[in-house]
Amino acid sequence: MTRLLLIAALMFAAPGAPAQVRLPRLPNGKPDFNGIWQAASSAHFDIERHMARHSLMLRDGPYGPLPAVPTLALGAVGAVPGGMGIVEGGKIPYKAEALKLRDENRQHWIERDPEVKCYLPGIPRANYMPFPFEIVQNASQFFFSYEYAGAHRDVLFKDPGPAETDTWMGQAVGKWEGDTLVIENSGFNDQTWFDRAGNHHSSQLKVVERLKLMTPYHIQYEATITDPEVFTGPWKIALPLYRRMEKDPRIMDFRCVEFVEELIYGEHRRNPLKR
């Protein structure tokens, strides 16, 4: 009889009704986010909805845009794949002057993108770069460790007040709203971008993240961005983050500071190398 009732319930369940998912939890009942995660999107190229482009930098050609000279040798490696974007509504609400600066940044990507120089990526960019990151969590602590540039951040659950100084990764203060972790980030400098498309902010940036474990294998990630110097109002991004499921997933070293020493300091060699 019980089996017949179960079959009937499955047959007459509402179409599209979500199945009940048992989430991993800590002994205190909070969702267990421990693991290695990674985004699977083109957001690191451009968080707005966009068509594929010849290159990260473009110039006018006789029949349309072509790769700019500094990126010409990159060929398809330097091209931008199209993407539906992660910005709610498709477009960032820039103020007029800030939009002009975004477009200038795009034209000078190779000189201006902080990622090129291995600067720390900032938030939210660190979460959707093409590198994995690890979450380490217990009953009272929540820690992010990013593969790119050895970046990391510790989520504080007791608000210490305004950050003492502005930094690339900011200050993170968390709280639980049911099963959702809400992280309020502030104390940023203006030296990071949101992507490789020149989308930028000022030191007035504030980011409120919401992380919800939807299944044991993916997090729904949302962030609301506010910066009155750059944007006409708050705006939101959203994307899933996926658990790495290899047999032995781990964060590798990508401490890229030494990789860019020649780029930044090579001209100061006693005998500079050819560029």
Indicate the number of domains in the chain.
Answer: 2
What pLDDT score was predicted for residue 274? Answer: 86
Residue 1 pLDDT > 80: no
Residue 271 pLDDT > 70: yes
CATH of the domain at 224: 2.40.128
Residue 261: inside a domain: no
Check whether residue 116 and residue 153 sit in a common domain.
yes
Mean of pLDDT values over 192-209: 98
Check whether residue 219 and residue 159 sit in a common domain.
yes
Check whether residue 71 and residue 201 sit in a common domain.
no
Q: How confident is the model at residue 3 (pLDDT cuts 50, 70, 90)?
A: low
Answer yes or no: pTM beyond 0.85. yes
Higher per-residue pLDDT: 148 or 5: 148
Residue 259: inside a domain: no
Read off the DSSP letter of residue 109: H
Domain carrying residue 71: 50-83
Chain centroid to CA 42: 11
Check whether residue 130 and residue 76 sit in a common domain.
no
Check whether residue 229 and residue 99 sit in a common domain.
yes
Residue 85 pLDDT > 50: yes
Mean of pLDDT values over 83-87: 97
Read off the DSSP letter of residue 7: H
Residue 224: inside a domain: yes
Residue 94 pLDDT > 50: yes
What pLDDT score was predicted for residue 18? Answer: 55
Check whether residue 78 and residue 145 sit in a common domain.
no
Residue 222: inside a domain: yes
What pLDDT score was predicted for residue 134? Answer: 98
Share of the chain above pLDDT 90, in %: 89
Check whether residue 234 and residue 114 sit in a common domain.
yes
Check whether residue 106 and residue 218 sit in a common domain.
yes
Please calculate the CA angle 45-51-56 and round it to the nearest 5 degrees.
Answer: 40
Report helix, strand or coil for 235.
Answer: strand
* DSSP states along 131-197: S-EEEEE-SS-EEEEESBTT-EEEEESS---S-SS-BSS-EEEEEEETTEEEEEEE-B-S---SSTT
Residue 234: inside a domain: yes
What pLDDT score was predicted for residue 65? Answer: 93
Residue 73 pLDDT > 90: yes
Residue 5: inside a domain: no
What pLDDT score was predicted for residue 8? Answer: 47
CA torsion angle for 42, 150, 106, 202 (degrees, to 10)?
Answer: 110
Q: What is the pLDDT of residues 128-166, one digit of tens each?
A: 999 999 999 999 999 999 999 999 999 999 999 999 999
User: Rounded mean pLDDT of the chain?
Assistant: 93
Check whether residue 117 and residue 149 sit in a common domain.
yes
Q: What is the pLDDT of residues 240-269, one digit of tens each?
A: 999 999 999 999 999 999 999 999 999 999
Check whether residue 73 and residue 96 sit in a common domain.
no
d(CA 189, CA 168): 6
Q: What is the pLDDT of residues 19-36, one digit of tens each?
A: 678 999 999 999 999 999
Residue 21: inside a domain: no
Strand partners for 148: 254
Q: How confident is the model at residue 15 (pLDDT cuts 50, 70, 90)?
A: low
Residue 17 pLDDT > 50: no
Chain centroid to CA 268: 34
Residue 4 pLDDT > 60: no
Check whether residue 138 and residue 221 sit in a common domain.
yes
Mean of pLDDT values over 181-189: 98
Check whether residue 155 and residue 76 sit in a common domain.
no
Mean of pLDDT values over 199-228: 98
Residue 11 pLDDT > 60: no
Residue 110: inside a domain: yes
Return the amino acid letter for 118.
Answer: C
